[in-house]
Structure 1
Amino acid sequence: MIDSIFKDPVFWTLALFIVPLIARIPIAVSLGMATISVVWFWDMGYQMLSYSFYAGIAKVPLLAIPFFILAGIIMEKVGIAARIVKLIKELVGDVTGGLAIATVIVAAFWGAVSGSGPATVAALGLILIPSMAQAGYDKAFATAVVSVASGLAIIIPPSISFIVYGDIMEQSVGTLFAAGIVPGVIVAGFLCLAVYLYSRLRGFRGEPRESLGALLRAFFDAFWGLLTPVIILGGIYGGVFTPTEAAAVAVFYGLFVGLVVYRTLTLRVLYEILSETVVSTAVVMLVVACAGLYSWLGATVGIIDKIAGLLLGVSDNPTVILLMINVILLFAGMLLDANSIMYIFLPILIPIIRTLGWDPIWFGVMMTINLAIGQVTPPVAVNLFVGARISGLTMEQIARPAIGLIAAAIAALALLTAFPILTTFLPRLMGLM
């Protein structure tokens, strides 16, 4: 029995991925190494690996990923994020929990620019964490709010995770973007309620408003930044350009604002922008390519059919299966990044989605919210990790105040899972479904 297990390529496909992952080897390396080893040893046609690697990323929809990464970094470096934060601070004043609530709102707004959780933490954390600490907020709580709220970046469109999901599931990215708006607002609302209750309990308040004139100046200063999601989403749903073209438009709009309006774009800043974009894009696309290879291997050796059959065999009740899938995705999100999970788990889930007749658009939004929660759930918790580096605190210090915020996000997930209409009614109203 044991001998037959060790001779089974399914066992080695899982083992050669999980063991290096536990040893903290980068996920792209773990995925690629497992795929190459099994394909070579079982002679599955290693000659096709290079072609499959290329084919996995040579897709027009995925071209939006580097453009949105570039756009987000441009708008951070040229000062758009700082101006939006200043406006929100003027709006909320010294309302109880106002600055923390404003942080959630700004993170949701910035998600409509960057599409990446860790990038949003990095862009906003340097400004908002010191601002909240200076206003009397507990630094660990301030860091937790920024880190958890930044998970909204992969829910609020445009979202890199929606682009990846649409590519794998062959669904319209524009429809996914439309479907993510209301759920993103609902999750943000639950987080706002949680931070208000915590702030009221601890007596956290912001700083008094300066004057109406200061508010107006902050508004006009942030006006060009506020136009960004209007241009991106308005252009997509107005039929002016596709999501991929919208990403390119966002890049040139950011360059225009930095060069002509704010005049903060210098050659040195441009070099920093391009350097960070190359690194971030390379990391994401390498994971996408290797995860695509691993997904193909899983289908070839039969993992996908076996796991899908196992899940369907546990119960014939769709609610039970959906609950199991949510739990599995939550745990997966604790260990892996969102894009890798999409490529590894979606091929397994596709037969289940089709068998049970679930709407793939609703499922994609639900899955993405699940993965957003995973970004702030230890042990990996990539958003908390970035927040810890910015604040100088430990993960343990940040995780404690983050628990209530994570619970609020899970409550929002439960609501959106139970009522799919909350996700699908807007794209239906827009004629996209």
Structure 2
Amino acid sequence: MFGGNVLSPAEAAAILFVLFFGLLALRVPVAFALGLAVLPITLIEPRLGPLLLIGETFNAYNSFILLAVPFFLLTANLMNAGGITNRLMELARTLVGHVPGGLAQVNVVLSFFFAGISGSSTADAASQSKIFIPAQVKLGMDLRFSVAITACSSVLAVIIPPSILMIVWGGILTVSIGGLFLAGIVPGIMITLALMGTVYVYAKRRNYPVFERATVREILCAAAHAIPALLTPLMIVSGKLFGWFTATESGCIAVLYATVLSFVVYREMDAKGFWGALLDTGRFASVALFCVGTASAFGWLLAYYQIPQHMLAGVATWGLGITGTGFMVAGVFLIVGCFLDAIPSIIIVGTILQPMTRAVGMDQIHFALIGIISLAFGLVTPPYGLCLMIASHIGGIRVIDAMKDVSIMLVPMLSVLALVILFPDLVLAIPRLAAPGMIN
């Protein structure tokens, strides 16, 4: 007996992780794999019981902040159905369509704009893959390149505010969500520029076509049509920052605003489109929130057996410092992101690593951005790589066929991550200026 428990921390950890990764290898969905990995321990340990799995899963849903997840997903779907995405795409075309890479540059810039509205990379990948992959191929661009740039640019949605991952991270690990929103601005811009630079090099080497340079009048007209949609992120971030409403309330306001834009301002959404947006939101949100529930039960068992403390017992003696710890955190999340969805990764791995980052004096907003950016890149790295899988499926190719181009695009993206680790002010400068109380 170990402290009254039948299993020692090492034995419990072995059962949890071996079962979980074994089930993943058998292609069991992540949410079910997490729940099934928990079940044997609840049967073995007399103090626990199978009802623990159900109880902890449903306790995770008793969170007001998690209501923001379906609201932001619904906002994105309403804007797609209501023609708002088309206005943003036209603005992107007038701004960068003449730059080498043409439509691929528009693809990246639209992801930047859309990221400030949806907060969901999977929603971005699904909607933009249908638009851009066939269009880019029609213009003579390589199919593998088209799939890769669409998947890689979609990760911006969880880095640029408002981000669903930032909301979950802030709620689970008790970090200022307003601070996270502000901290994501500079890395998001840097990754956007890195991807645009990559497209530029591809276009020059392969002589990809461009659009004619837009006139000032065309740019102003496109901006006028898109400004109502572009006000969405400004409204959400400023409202959260100034304390006008919570993250969940901002999601509700975004839904109402998107509905008004779609029905009243742009007048492109009907009852059928509205119903379709609701169905898509329900499907995406149910998957994400089911993962939250079973991951919370998994994380509860880790805490019960004090597994994080045992796993990190020797790390404190390494003397890594803030920079070394940052690279270690990034490495762990990059590896975990290859196998696990971002939300359960935050719940399980984030809680394990948080004490170590506090011990070395790392600001928790800095820690969060390192983790979120690393997990965002996991959306395009197999075997999980959900955004890459979506883009590849829509493009009609295998994931492995797009991996060469994805690997090339990841190099400048990883360079941005390294800069964020080396220079914390890249993420902390804006929160420090706008709201000093958010910095730990």
Q: Distance in 1 between matches of 2:47 and 2:35?
A: 15
Whether the 8 Å CA contact 1:82–1:127 is kept in 2: the answer is no
One-letter amino acid of the counterpart of residue 301, structure 2: L
Q: Which 10-residue stretch deviates more, 134-143 or 351-360?
A: 134-143
Residue 361 (structure 2) pairs with residue 357 (structure 1): yes
Q: 1:42 maps to what in 2?
A: 45
> What's the CA shift for 1:217?
4.2
Q: 2:159 maps to what in 1?
A: 155
TM-score, with length taken from structure 1: 0.94
> What's the CA shift for 1:133?
2.4
One-letter amino acid of the counterpart of residue 39, structure 2: I
Residue 280 (structure 2) pairs with residue 281 (structure 1): no
Whether the 8 Å CA contact 2:178–2:237 is kept in 1: the answer is no
Q: 1:18 maps to what in 2?
A: 21
**Alignment deviations for residues 81-137 of structure 1 (CA, whole Å, 9 cap, x no partner):** 122112211332332124323322211211111111111111222222233223332
Residue 131 (structure 2) pairs with residue 127 (structure 1): yes
Q: 1:345 to 1:203 in 2, by over 3 A?
A: same
Q: Distance in 1 between matches of 2:255 and 2:33?
A: 33
One-letter amino acid of the counterpart of residue 271, structure 2: L
Q: 2:146 maps to what in 1?
A: 142
**Please, which of 258, 272, 278 is the counterpart of residue 268 of structure 1?**
272
1:122-271 alignment runs, 5 A limit: 122-209=126-213, 214-271=218-275
Q: 1:241 to 1:198 in 2, by over 3 A?
A: same
1:250-399 alignment runs, 5 A limit: 250-313=254-317, 315-318=318-321, 319-399=323-403
**Please, which of 416, 428, 437 is the counterpart of residue 412 of structure 1?**
416
Query: Which secondary structure state, in structure 1, belongs to the residue aligned with residue 141 of structure 2?
Result: coil
> What's the CA shift for 1:223?
3.2
Q: 2:3 maps to what in 1?
A: none
**Alignment deviations for residues 252-293 of structure 1 (CA, whole Å, 9 cap, x no partner):** 111111111222222211211111111111111110011011
Q: Which 10-residue stretch deviates more, 239-248 or 177-186?
A: 239-248
Whether the 8 Å CA contact 1:6–1:12 is kept in 2: the answer is no
> What's the CA shift for 1:184?
1.2
**Alignment deviations for residues 138-166 of structure 1 (CA, whole Å, 9 cap, x no partner):** 22212211110110111101111111111
Q: Distance in 2 between matches of 1:7 and 1:124?
A: 45
Q: Distance in 1 between matches of 2:47 and 2:316?
A: 29
Q: Distance in 2 between matches of 1:93 and 1:193?
A: 14
Query: Which secondary structure state, in structure 2, belongs to the residue aligned with residue 8 of structure 1?
Result: helix
1:1-150 alignment runs, 5 A limit: 8-46=11-49, 47-150=51-154
Q: Which 10-residue stretch deviates more, 66-75 or 201-210?
A: 201-210
> What's the CA shift for 1:78?
1.1
Query: Which secondary structure state, in structure 1, belongs to the residue aligned with residue 313 of structure 2?
Result: helix
**Alignment deviations for residues 27-46 of structure 1 (CA, whole Å, 9 cap, x no partner):** 11111111122112212322
Give me the CA root mean square deviation.
2.0
Whether the 8 Å CA contact 1:67–1:247 is kept in 2: the answer is yes
Q: Which 10-residue stretch deviates more, 404-413 or 97-106?
A: 97-106
Whether the 8 Å CA contact 2:8–2:305 is kept in 1: the answer is no
Q: Distance in 1 between matches of 2:244 and 2:419?
A: 34
> What's the CA shift for 1:74?
0.8
**Alignment deviations for residues 315-359 of structure 1 (CA, whole Å, 9 cap, x no partner):** 222244433332221111111111111111122112201211111
> What's the CA shift for 1:299?
1.5
Whether the 8 Å CA contact 1:132–1:206 is kept in 2: the answer is no
Q: Distance in 2 between matches of 1:419 and 1:287?
A: 33
